A and B are shown apart, each in its own frame.
Chain A
């Protein structure tokens, strides 16, 4: 696998054109790397495993400070996951780090049968989630990881939205008993949350309130949803924007109440439509409070090479796409 390309392209950032210009861009991978180091200082049971790629996942930060508690397993993700299971069953909190595609794909059955089945304390830090990985192309773009992880019984799936929320996700995962999958992006992401904002597994945060429709988003799409809310406000359409950082367990109560309040829902994720956040929201609403649901997601196709901004446009994952889709959802209201 030509993973060197991942190193080569990590420095680039191409979100300038598609995010709100006042937002500061910060790397969630760096935030994650630093948070795990902080955790390591507080708790000697924290260990980190890497399947090569330590520079890309920022696991190298932990390796520098705690070399004894860092295990590079080489390019062998299946073995890494089960080694993490062995460390976890011995009382360690094991952070296993690699790219989303390899964590969720190559090592899926190890996660399912050995980690999740026994509810072990393995925390999977999956960087390079989504199509915004960019030029490395489809083989390195994890676009089905949320679906693959969320389908496993008892698995917790988190998608922190920015560099402020990422450490909160890491700390919450460490305190949580059982496996957790944390999806991070390659790109620097706009900072949209505040240090004092809460982060609770199974909850979500309302970032904008409006009564015409609700956009439920995760990851990079949350800032696009905020941008869409500003564009829609110019047309006097007021939307609620929900930062749905906890994909599983998901904040069922808030999602139902927002459907009741606004009568139309749009989901937005940098992931395949099949099995992702949109599917999850639809499962809840169809059973509890059916309202029109539209989904911004990657349709049934693979990614490809290109700059992140170009790809987000090509796959209809921009704020403009959210604007159009919100109008469509509203038009479907009975």
Chain B
């Protein structure tokens, strides 16, 4: 496991700041998209791509790479910005988000974007796919790990629980789910729309190892990812408490910013806050 020094944490923080700026700029240029859930999961993706994952941007299909899947596909901007920063494609590509002919589709498309392991966008499907990849890894006796980012609102989909049952049934300890628990969905607070709570108890009951953390604290995220690797015979879910719209004052905890792009003026204010 790579050592997490204070210097490294500072590097990761700087990356997170850059990626947040990219997200705002991308969305403002696109004129549509999902800032809230992108900003809430920045530290999670930065921890994975710049510390935890064994991957090679020059060879995205390297067969022994760790896999990351984004089940909450509407957070594509944070994935694209992270992949670009990691070297999968140029920064200029980011400014084509959602435009005709762009490799950066509104929701992730594995056939168009280097580094995107699996297409997503229709909620509730990613954990099942991650199970398939984890089963394949076990079958092939590979050591790669599979990470999948889930949304809290997404947990209302029944298929998530079909998949959760299967991950535990097949003892997929090479699988780690991370729940971006930002508390909001497009119609409002998750507890008001359709409460998926209590979360920890549900996942424990489904046979998972559960770790609760602050999803913006690099030390906590990385320690949790490390701990997940030591678990035998069961999958792990890291329930990461996050702030929707994190880093932009007028977006934080405002569900109106789930799926709305900032205007150029709003983007300017946001970028000032993030600089």
Distance from B229 Cβ to chain A, minimum over Cβ atoms (Å): 20
Q: Smallest CB–CB gap between A112 and chain B, Å?
A: 8
CB pair A89 B132 closer than 8 Å: yes
Of A80-88, A210-218, A265-273, A277-285, the segment with at least 4 beta carbons within 8 Å of chain B is A80-88
Binds A, one of B33-41, B117-125, B257-265: B117-125
Cβ contact of A79, chosen from B120, B136, B140, B163, cutoff 8 A: B163
**For window 83-102 of chain A, which residues contact chain B by CB distance below 8 Å?**
83-92, 94
Cα–Cα, bound, A120→B215 (Å) = 33
Q: Are A86 and B130 in contact (CB under 8 A)?
A: yes
Q: How many positions in chain B have a CB within 8 Å of any CB in the partner chain?
A: 30
* Distance of B131 from chain A, by nearest CB (Å): 5
> Residues of A contacting B109 with CB < 8 Å?
117-118
In the complex, whether A65 has a CB less than 8 A from a CB of chain B is no
Select which of B111, B129, B159 is within 8 A of A119 by beta carbon: B111
User: Does A71 interact with chain B (Cβ within 8 Å)?
Assistant: yes
B125 touches A92 (CB 8 A): no
List chain B residues, Cβ under 8 A from A83: 128-129, 131-132, 135, 163, 166
Interface size on A, residues (CB 8 A): 29
Asked whether, in the complex, the Cβ of A87 is within 8 Å of the Cβ of B125, the reply is no
Tell me the bound Cα distance from A89 to B65 in angstroms.
Answer: 13
> Are B166 and A76 touching (Cβ within 8 A)?
yes
What is the CB-to-nearest-CB distance from A85 to chain B, in angstroms, rounded to a whole number? 5
By a CB distance below 8 angstroms, the chain B residues around A113 are 119, 121-122, 125
Contact: B129 with A82, CB < 8 Å?
Answer: yes
Whether a CB of chain B sits under 8 angstroms from the CB of A114 is yes
Are A86 and B131 in contact, CB atoms less than 8 angstroms apart?
yes
A89–B159 touching, CB < 8 Å: no
B139 touches A68 (CB 8 A): yes
Chain B, residue nearest A83 (CB): B132
In the complex, the number of residue pairs spanning A and B with C-beta atoms less than 8 Å apart equals 97
B166 contacts across to A, CB distance below 8 A: 73-74, 76, 79, 83
**Contact residues in B for A92 (Cβ distance below 8 Å):** 136, 139
Q: In the complex the two chains form, what is the Cα distance from A89 to B135 in whole Å?
A: 12
Decide if B132 touches A90 in the complex (CB within 8 Å). yes
- The answer to whether A69 has its CB under 8 Å from any CB of chain B is yes
A71-B135, A76-B166 in contact; A89/B121 too (CB < 8 A)? no
Let me know if B128 and A82 touch, CB within 8 A. yes
- Chain B residues with CB below 8 A from A86, complex form: 118, 128-136
Contact among A76, A87, A110, A114 for B135, CB-based, below 8 A: A87
Q: How far is the CB of B91 from chain A (nearest CB, A)?
A: 26
Contacts of B170 in A (CB 8 A): 71
Question: Do B111 and A118 touch (CB < 8 A)?
Answer: yes
B 152-173 contacts with A by CB, 8 A: 158-159, 162-163, 165-166, 169-170
Determine if A90 and B122 form an interchain contact, defined as CB atoms under 8 angstroms apart.
no
- Distance (Å) between the CB of B171 and the closest chain A CB? 13
Q: Is the CB of A76 within 8 A of B165?
A: yes
**Quick one: closest B residue to A112, CB to CB?**
B122
Q: Are A117 and B119 touching (Cβ within 8 A)?
A: yes
Q: Which residue of A lies closest to B169 (CB)?
A: A74
Beta-carbon contact of B111 and A114 below 8 Å: no
**Contact of B132 (CB < 8 Å), options: A69, A74, A87, A109:** A87
**Smallest CB–CB gap between B74 and chain A, Å?**
13
Q: Give the distance to chain A from B210, nearest Cβ to Cβ, in Å.
A: 20
A68 — which chain B residues lie within 8 A by C-beta? 139
A114 and B129 form a contact (CB under 8 A): yes
Q: Is the CB of B159 within 8 A of A82?
A: yes
Interface pair A85/B132, CB less than 8 Å apart: yes
Nearest chain A residue, comparing its CB with the CB of B159: A78
Q: Are B125 and A114 in contact (CB under 8 A)?
A: yes
Cβ contacts under 8 Å, A71 to chain B: 135, 170
Whether B137 sits at the interface, judged by CB under 8 Å, is yes
Residues on A with C-beta less than 8 A from B125 are 78, 82, 110, 113-114
Residue-wise interface mask of A (280-309) relative to B, using a CB-CB cutoff of 8 A (1 in contact, 0 not): 000000000000000000000000000000
Write out the residue numbers on chain B whose beta carbons fall within 8 Å of the beta carbon of A185.
none
- Asked whether B163 lies within 8 Å of A90 as measured between CB atoms, the reply is no
At the interface, yes or no: A47 with Cβ under 8 Å from chain B?
Answer: yes
Bits for B177-209, please: 1 = Cβ < 8 Å to A, else 0: 000000000000000000000000000000000
Which parts of A101-144 form the interface with B (CB within 8 Å)? 109-110, 113-114, 117-119
Asked if A90 and B136 make an inter-chain contact with CB atoms under 8 angstroms apart, the answer reads yes
Closest to B136 in A: A90
Q: How far is the CB of A271 from chain B (nearest CB, A)?
A: 27
Q: How far is the CA of A74 from the CA of B165 in the complex (A)?
A: 10
| A40-94 with Cβ < 8 A to chain B | 47, 68-69, 71, 73-74, 76, 78-79, 81-92, 94
Cβ-closest chain B residue relative to A107: B159
Complex alpha-carbon distance, A89 and B163, angstroms: 17
- In the complex, whether B12 has a CB less than 8 A from a CB of chain A is no
Interface residues of B in 72-109 (CB under 8 A from A): 109
Listed A/B pairs (9) with beta-carbon separation below 8 Å? A74-B162, A76-B162, A85-B128, A86-B118, A87-B135, A89-B110, A92-B136, A113-B121, A119-B111
| Chain B residues proximal to chain A, CB less than 8 Å | 109-111, 117-122, 125, 128-137, 139-140, 158-159, 162-163, 165-166, 169-170
Q: Which 7 A-B pairs have the closest CB atoms?
A: A86-B132, A82-B128, A90-B136, A79-B162, A76-B162, A86-B129, A83-B132
